Amino acid sequence: MFNTTKFMKDDLVHRTEIVKVPELKEWFDSIEAPEWTVRGLSHKEISLAEEQANKTNDITKIIQAIAGNGEEKTKAIKKLIGIDDGVPKETAKRMGHLVFGSIDPKIELDTVVKLATHHPVVFANLTNTILKLTGLGSDVVGKHKPSGKDKM
Neighbours of 130 (CB within 10 A): 27
Q: What is the mean pLDDT of the chain?
A: 85
Q: Got the DSSP string for 27-80? A: GSTT-SS-EEEEE---HHHHHHHHHHHHHHHHHHHHHHHHHTT-HHHHHHHHHH
- Mean of pLDDT values over 123-151: 83
Name the burial class of residue 59, with classes exposed (0-12), middle (13-18) and buried (19+) by CB atoms within 10 angstroms of its CB.
middle
| Number of Cβ within a 10 Å radius of residue 61 | 10
Report the amino acid identity of residue 29.
D
SS3 102: strand
**pLDDT number for residue 151:** 44
In tens, the pLDDT along 57-90 reads 666 666 666 666 677 776 676 666 556 556 788 9
pLDDT value at position 142? 72
Beta bridge partners of 102: 38
Span 13-28+36-140: which CATH code? 3.30.2220
Residue spans of the domains in the chain: they are 13-28+36-140
Confidence band, pLDDT 50/70/90 cuts, at residue 129: very high
